[in-house]
Amino acid sequence: MSVPAPALAVALVGNPNTGKSTLFNALTGLRQRVGNYPGVTVARKSGTCDCGDGLKVELVDLPGLYSLAAASPDEQVVTDALVGQIAGERPPDVVVLVVDATNLLRNLFLASQLAELDRPVVLVLNQADVAREQGLRIDTALLSARLGGIPVALVSAWKGEGVADVRRAIARAAREQARLPKVEWPANIAAALTELTRAVAAETGRAPTPAEAQRLLFDTSTALPERLGWSAERREPAIRALRDQVRRSGFNPLAAEPLVHYARLRKVLEGVVTEGLGKAGRTAAVDRLLLHRVLGPVLFAGIMLGMFASVFWLAKFPMGWIQAGVDALKAGVAPALDATPMLQSLVTDGAIGGVGAFLAFLPQILILFLFVGILEDSGYMARAAFIMDRLFSWCGLNGKSFVPMLSGFACAIPGLLSTRTIEDPKARLATAFVVPFMSCSARFPIYALMCAAFIGPLYGPGWESAVMVGMHCVGLLFAVPVAFVLTRFVLRVKPQPFVLELPRYQMPKPRDVLWRMWQNAAEFVTKAGTVIFAITLVVWALCYFPRDPGAAERVRAAQPTLSAEALDARVKAEAIERSWMGRFGKSVQPVFDPCGFDWKITVGVLASFPAREVIVSTLGVTYSLGEGAKADSEHLRKAMQEARWTEGPRAGGRIFTLAAVLALMVFFALCSQCGPTIVTLARETGGWRWAAASFLTMTALAWLAATVVYQVVSRLAPLA
């Protein structure tokens, strides 16, 4: 039996961060479909919504946008979808506009533009609970009357309040077909729009819609003329003349649209919103301090330093418990596998060793995301964006680049996907190029391992945190000049204004913060149990084979005084040197010799190119196999602290000197070691050229920086 198609198509639009997707989820429940719009990598989310009385509608959640002046691919999809210009998509019968109830004036700008599309509209005032908290009272009946009688619903989507009202409002809008009243343009602008419509119709044979005419007159970066087939030779002088006409009436043609819309909206909202005693005053006072030109960055650095210090200090105890658990597991499993020594090595040195070394960082990851969650939910992260924007504008990047780059600190992939919100294709490309420089969470375990094994014990916990913060800044420090060169000399990006909405400060909700911690923990553990586990087995095999059965006898003959334990360690060390991985690492090691990497680190570096977090488990395997060390984080640290060069001019010297440790961290901070990131970059930039350029640039910079760090530090502090 076939399911009947929904009778109506309904589009959900609104500014970003208005809770549009939360409302979409509440309206559609689990009946959702996710795909892409044809020809573009913009997600299309749709679902069926039951509006009562047997009316079922197809609800489409469109990407968030501030204005119909489509500049980015996301915004273009929204405007195309609203006018039915997407192949296979019907134009919406009803548009549901979701606005932030706490900021009606700014959010209704989009409503004012939507009026030109001449579609029935439902206005949803979301975050009603927050508006109440702020002491705002909204007269929805008066607002509806002022907006042509369209249905207005006051809801709190995340609490589920008023969702039923939205369903009823959609049904009512479909029934009554109430439209938003159009803005009345001043005479000169209206005349210019009429003249423009006539000029386009004369040349192309099709008169643009009023909305299209406004885009042609007010926007400088719209692709509309090409789509209408209006030639550049005729278009440019005509638009210039019409903008001069607007200018003569006292309006800047590029600012006229918001001025007229906002003047009208202020009148619409008169008496609609009554303000009580809000929190705005307190927010402004705190912002004066946190956004101060000098104090702001200092406080930001202090907060980051405090965060990493807390991560190290708090994680020490649970890390000890995990290490004890790994030890106990090995001790329990090893005797049971005495009869099968190869399998015993695979399980204890490989699986438990590699995965155990990786899992030991779970507490640090959890505590890090606890702090990040608190900073995000409290509203501080948006302030950090504001502080960092000054830096980005200096290097020629669009201010909107901060959000992708901030996302890059968690993972480069969502960072790359979020570059789609940047209108200027050149700025988008430049941002995508530098996003992988940001220190993603996969780099965290190698920093943590090196800091805990060397920096902390040698210089104390203060330096441990400082180096951690420093490593998170290394990528940024390189990204800024790379972006500068790209935007100024290669792509020649024009500077663009950046508008950032600062949310109010609020107490983070424990449930949300804990949920994010849980998600990250689950992902980390899943990764340890699947990909890391499988890679560990493969790395173990490469480090274990081929076997030389006569190795033990040969070592015993050469050094007959060795104890049984030392003999075992020596045999294991010889075996790994002769293994496939050992031979490969030794043949490639000369490339990394200037960085101070021995062949085992080289093996770790090479194994980490598909995914950089593999380094810890690889070191766990190579050092547990090679040094006879127990393979958990604590023993791995000890094995690394004791590791010495066995040949060459540095024979007998420690491998992990301060210079080598810093060089290794700098290498991982900069190197392009993530297969999915490279593939995503290729897709987002429309080919492999920029992905290859990114890989080569980052890898070359990583090698160069690691070499400079190693050479300089080993000369300045040869004994450290």
Partner 1 sequence: MNLDAAIVYLLVGGAAGWLGFRWAAAWRRRKDGGCAGDCGCSAKVGKKG
**Footprint on this chain of partner 1 (rule: CB under 8 A):** 33-36, 41, 43, 339-343, 346, 410-414, 417, 441-442, 519, 523, 527, 531, 533-535, 537-538, 540-541, 610, 674-677, 679-680, 683
CA–CA distance, 279 with 136 (Å, rounded to integer): 11
> Which lies closer to partner 1 via its Cβ, residue 543 or residue 631?
543
> Which lies closer to partner 1 via its Cβ, residue 214 or residue 680?
680
> Which lies closer to partner 1 via its Cβ, residue 60 or residue 639?
60
> Which lies closer to partner 1 via its Cβ, residue 35 or residue 205?
35
At its nearest, how many Å lie between partner 1 and the CB of residue 341? 7
DSSP type of residue 46: E
DSSP type of residue 5: P
39 neighbors 27 (Cβ within 8 angstroms): no
Find, among 399, 419, 398, 392, the residue nearest to 686 by Cα: 419
At its nearest, how many Å lie between partner 1 and the CB of residue 42? 9
Strand pairing category for 152-154 and 32-36: unpaired
> Which lies closer to partner 1 via its Cβ, residue 8 or residue 442?
442
Find, among 655, 675, 658, 677, the residue nearest to 666 by Cα: 658
> Which lies closer to partner 1 via its Cβ, residue 207 or residue 381?
381
Find, among 27, 364, 369, 16, the residue nearest to 169 by Cα: 27
At its nearest, how many Å lie between partner 1 and the CB of residue 677? 7
At its nearest, how many Å lie between partner 1 and the CB of residue 410? 7
> Which lies closer to partner 1 via its Cβ, residue 64 or residue 151?
64
> Which lies closer to partner 1 via its Cβ, residue 149 or residue 414?
414
> Which lies closer to partner 1 via its Cβ, residue 625 or residue 674?
674
Both tokens of residue 492?
A: 């020649």
At its nearest, how many Å lie between partner 1 and the CB of residue 613? 9
At its nearest, how many Å lie between partner 1 and the CB of residue 416? 9
At its nearest, how many Å lie between partner 1 and the CB of residue 185? 40
CA–CA distance, 246 with 259 (Å, rounded to integer): 13
> Which lies closer to partner 1 via its Cβ, residue 679 or residue 712?
679
- Cis before 4 (ω within 30): no
Distance (Å) of CA 294 to CA 271, 299, 383, 470 = 41, 9, 14, 20
At its nearest, how many Å lie between partner 1 and the CB of residue 337? 9
Distance (Å) of CA 277 to CA 137, 379, 419, 503 = 11, 20, 38, 18
Residues 6+ apart with CB under 8 A from 107: 14, 15, 18, 99, 100
At its nearest, how many Å lie between partner 1 and the CB of residue 538? 5
> Which lies closer to partner 1 via its Cβ, residue 375 or residue 417?
417
At its nearest, how many Å lie between partner 1 and the CB of residue 617? 13
At its nearest, how many Å lie between partner 1 and the CB of residue 43? 6
Q: What is the 3-state secondary structure (H, E, C) of 686-699?
A: CCHHHHHHHHHHHH
> Which lies closer to partner 1 via its Cβ, residue 155 or residue 417?
417
612 neighbors 527 (Cβ within 8 angstroms): no
At its nearest, how many Å lie between partner 1 and the CB of residue 33? 3
CA–CA distance, 22 with 24 (Å, rounded to integer): 5
CA–CA distance, 5 with 12 (Å, rounded to integer): 19
604 neighbors 618 (Cβ within 8 angstroms): yes
At its nearest, how many Å lie between partner 1 and the CB of residue 596? 30
> Which lies closer to partner 1 via its Cβ, residue 38 or residue 52?
38
Name all contacts of 193-200 with Cβ < 8 Å and 24+ positions apart.
193/217, 195/242, 195/245, 196/238, 196/239, 196/242, 199/234, 199/238, 200/228, 200/230
Q: CA angle, 616 as apex, 611 and 621 as ends, to 5°?
A: 110
The string of DSSP letters for 251-314 reads --TTTHHHHHHHHHHHHHHTTTEEE-S-SHHHHHHHHHHHT-TTHHHHHHHHHHHHHHHHHHHH
